[in-house]
Structures are given as structure tokens and as C-alpha cells.
Chains A and B, each alone.
Chain A
């Protein structure tokens, strides 16, 4: 396990391509049941995808151990460590927190609570700043909601009231 994680982070590209390969195979397999007009395009595309994914796996095998060369496409320049991946997942978790809050208490309260939570729990910011930002964001969302006539999800809280 201790050796598996570093290996995964350095070679995440291999499982990812295998995953894409899996999706392509699924698409090819599923599309067998469609009528001709709906079937042909996904079949051709998925077949091409399978060949490309296999070619990419072969390339990765031949160049195993070598680091990806950077160029103008967007290979991330951040560090490639387990700790960094952990932090990344942590912040995806924070994104989920907002979605959950949104459906629980509605957008305006959720926005305020989210600022409070993220800035105090995660970043331990000075409370005056946190409160000011929290109120500011709530006001902003409220104003945008009124001005742009935005519509919000029905929250659990409003359902209870």
C-alpha cells in the first residue's frame, strides 16, 4: 500500500486511459442494440477510441519511467505528490459541501454558511473578515437573484416551513 500510492500518482495516466478504454468498450457494446441511424456513429467513434487507447497504453509501456514532457498544452505544473493529491480531493470535498448546503438550506443561507465554514475550518481566517465576506456574499447573491430573476432549487428548509 505504501508503494502503491506513489506509483498511482506518478502513473495515474495508465489507470485513466484504461478507464477511457472501458468507457469506449461499454459504448461499443451498448450501441449494438440501437437502430442503424443511432448506432453507426457511436460504433465508429468508439472503435477508433479503443484503437487509440490501446496505442496510448502501448506508448506508455514503451516509455515507462520517463516523465511526460511539458509543452503548451496544459499538463499541470504542480507537484505530483500523494500529499498534493490528498489536498486536491479535500477541496473537491469542499465543493460537495456547498452542493449539499444548497439543497438543505437554499442559496442565500448556504452561501453565508459556506464562507463561514470554509474560511474558519479550513483556513482559520480572522473572524471579522470572515463575517464581512459572509454577509457580503449573501447580499451579492440576493441582489443577483432579484436583478437577474434567478431561480433557486427548492431547499429542504423551505419545504419544512
Chain B
């Protein structure tokens, strides 16, 4: 009985304190004794999975209350089953988080058929960026990127899932290149082997994969780098890829060829797609309507985690030369989505469905 009264008193004090917006004790205790489940809608082993597991490994230690963190691969239907489970069938109390890849975010953003993940209802907890580089085979007969339009031969480009390559497709679109899509590849690794074998003429890889696997081909004289996709800053201006700072980016190359900055619908689409894909190569999402205490506890946890030297050492290899995005910087993810007009989304959906037959939710 006494305990109960005491508890009530403490509760009332806490309530009144939080009401006047000063010290709030509960983020410290929200996760005490709880466990956090991180849903990874991909099979184990991929880049996004490894990112999710890295976070899962270190986040628990740093979130106040030290919750147990379990990473769970919920595979099936190309990530749809796991994403939908997170979107529809878990409690919104901060005990379930989702690890998404940039391309999964893009699918949700464009409204892929069957995917019921609404990014507007989610908030990012932590994210990691990754750039992409496009290369061309020397057989195309050009010696500098500016001559792209004069490339000879059948410009084959391997297609996996078109949304999974959208940043490279939209860049080729910007140069108005008449390439021949070859669908059927099962992943970017597959297209890289085909590029190495000479089946494909144009190939886009993530920057780390470019550095380790395509650069040797360039040294052998079989390939030439065309451009990095590059990043887009908060004002919509192109920025160099920090992992390949010397490489020209697609918008810069456009300016060099045409003498003016890119503009129009394709450019708007580029500005919408590129930040979303590249800033969120791995993103940990929480539901937007979880208790504020949970949000605060996760925020504190992430801040402590990124300062932990052990985490920094472990993450160095997995982030492959990029910096983790946390705290206020996470805002840019949702800002870039908000900046995209409905016309841009309609344009992208139209392009994907007419060229590749991708089906979207109505």
C-alpha cells in the first residue's frame, strides 16, 4: 500500500515536471527491461543487413535502460513481407524498428505495388550513406566522359529490379543516352561479372564496389569511369562523392557537355531520387507515433553509440568510407522527400511503368 502511494506521488511529480517541460526522467527508464526487435526485410549477408546488424550489435548497450536488441531477418517477396509486417502488424511503442535500404525507401516513396510502408508515418533513427559510380567499357570507343554521346556499339545495360537501379537509370536519362536494357540479372554483383566478361557496356556500382572491383578493370584498360552519381546538398546543388572526390559527378558532366546546368523534369527527378537512395543506403526507421520517451531514448542511444570508440572501429569497415548520419542531419532525409513535387513522382512512376512494366499502388 505504501509503495503504491509512493509510486503515485513520484508519478505525479514526474507528470507535473514534464508538464512544465523541465527535467524528464522517463527516457532513462523507458527501455529498462524491454527488448528491441530490428526487422531486416532482407536475407542475411547483404550490405543493408550487415549495417542493420552492426547497429543491432551496439545500439542496445547505449540506449538508456540497456534493452536487449535482436536483429531478425524477415525475408520474402523482395522485402515486402518484412516491411509490411513492420508497417501493419507491430505495436507502435518503439520496441520494433526497421532496417531499410535506400532502394526499399525509394520503393515505398514511389508506392510500389504490394508495399504498404508509408515513410511519412516513420522517422529515421540513424542512417548511412553510399555513393555510386557509372563506368563504360572501352569497347564503346570513347576516351573521355564528355564524348558519351558518340559511344559506339550496342550500349547494353544490365537491369535487375529497375527501382533498385533508379539512380543510374535517371542519370542515363539525363544524358538522353540510347541504351539497350537487358533485364534478368539477379543483382548488382551479377551485372558486374557480366560487365567484366564484356556482356554489358555500361555498369553502375556502389562506390566501394567500384573502387575494389572496377578500378582493376580500368587499370587493365577494359573500362573507363564515366561519372559518379554524386550527392545533392540541402539547397539542391550537386556535391562530389566523398569516397571518390576527384571524379566528376553526373550533373557536372552534363554542364560540361551542354554548357548549362541540367534543368527540367529529369533533373527534378534526379534531385528527388539521388538523396533518398544514397543518403539512406542503410536506414533504421521507427514509427513516428511512438512515445516521446522512446524517441528520446533512441536519440540518446544513437548519440552515445556513434561516440563509442569500439563502434567506430567496427563500423569503419562496414560503412566503407562514409560517415554515419545521425541527430539533426537525419532531417535531410525527410526534407528531400518533401521537396519532391507530385509531378516528379508521377513522372518517375510513368517512366518505370512504361519502360519496365513496374506496377504501383493506385
CB of B252 closer than 8 Å to a CB of A: no
B183 engages A151 (CB within 8 Å)? no
Residues of B within 8 A of A151 (CB): 72
Q: In the complex, A35→B72 CA distance in Å?
A: 36
- When distances are taken between beta carbons in the complex, the residues of chain B under 8 Å from A126 are none
CA distance A38 to B357 in the complex (A): 10
Interface: A86 (CB within 8 A)? no
User: Which residues of A34-55 have CB atoms within 8 Å of chain B's CB atoms?
Assistant: 35, 37-38
Chain B contacts with A in 65-100, Cβ cutoff 8 A: 72
Interface size on B, residues (CB 8 A): 3
CA distance A38 to B183 in the complex (A): 11
Q: Write the B28-63 contact mask toward A (1 if CB under 8 angstroms, else 0).
A: 000000000000000000000000000000000000
B180 to chain A, nearest CB (A): 14
List of A residues within 8 angstroms of B357 by Cβ: 35, 37-38
Min CB distance B95 to A, Å, is 15
Secondary structure of the B contact surface, majority rule: strand
Q: Give the docked Cα–Cα distance between A56 and B206 (Å).
A: 52
How far, in Å, is B71 (CB) from chain A's closest CB?
A: 11
- Report how many residues on chain A are interfacial, defined by Cβ distance under 8 Å: 4
Number of A-B residue pairs, CB cutoff 8 Å, is 5
Q: Once the chains are docked, how many angstroms separate the CA of A35 from the CA of B183? A: 14
- A35 proximity list for chain B (CB < 8 A): 357
In whole angstroms, what is the CA distance A38 to B359 when docked? 13
In the assembled complex, the CB of A152 is this many whole angstroms from the nearest CB of chain B, namely 13
**Set of chain B residues within 8 Å of A38, measured between Cβ atoms:** 357
**B146-203: which residues lie under 8 A (CB-CB) from chain A?**
183
0 or 1 for each of B344-357: is its CB under 8 Å from A? (1 = yes): 00000000000001
How far apart sit A37 and B182, CA to CA, in the bound complex (Å)? 11
Distance A74 CA – B160 CA, assembled complex (angstroms): 39
A-chain residues with CB within 8 Å of residue B183 when the two chains form the complex:
37
Closest to A36 in B: B357
A135-153 with Cβ < 8 A to chain B: 151
**A157 CA to B199 CA, complexed, in Å:** 56
B70: nearest chain-A partner, CB-CB = A149
Task: Give A5 Cβ to nearest chain B Cβ, in Å.
Answer: 41
Alpha-carbon separation in the docked complex, A37 to B184 (Å): 10
CB-nearest residue of chain B to A35: B357
- Residues 9-41 of A, flagged 1 when their CB comes within 8 A of B and 0 if not, give 000000000000000000000000001011000
Query: How far apart are the CA atoms of A37 and B183 in the complex, in Å?
Result: 9
Which chain A residue shows the least CB distance to B184? A37
Q: How far is the CA of A88 from the CA of B4 in the complex (A)?
A: 62
Q: Which residue of B lies closest to A151 (CB)?
A: B72
Rounded to whole angstroms, the CA-CA distance of A35 and B359 in the bound complex is 12
CA distance A30 to B183 in the complex (A): 23
User: Whole-angstrom distance between the alpha carbons of A151 and B357 in the complex?
Assistant: 37
Closest to A34 in B: B357
Give the docked Cα–Cα distance between A142 and B183 (Å): 46
* Bound-state Cα–Cα, A68 to B72, Å: 50
* A151 CA / B72 CA spacing, docked (Å): 10
CB distance from A74 to the nearest CB of B (A): 31
Bound-state Cα–Cα, A35 to B356, Å? 10
**Across-interface contacts of A37 in B (CB, < 8 A):** 183, 357
**In the assembled complex, how far is the CB of residue A7 from the closest CB belonging to chain B, in whole angstroms?**
43
5 A-B contacts (beta carbon < 8 Å) = A35-B357, A37-B183, A37-B357, A38-B357, A151-B72
- Nearest first, the 5 A-B pairs at minimum CB distance are A35-B357, A37-B183, A37-B357, A151-B72, A38-B357
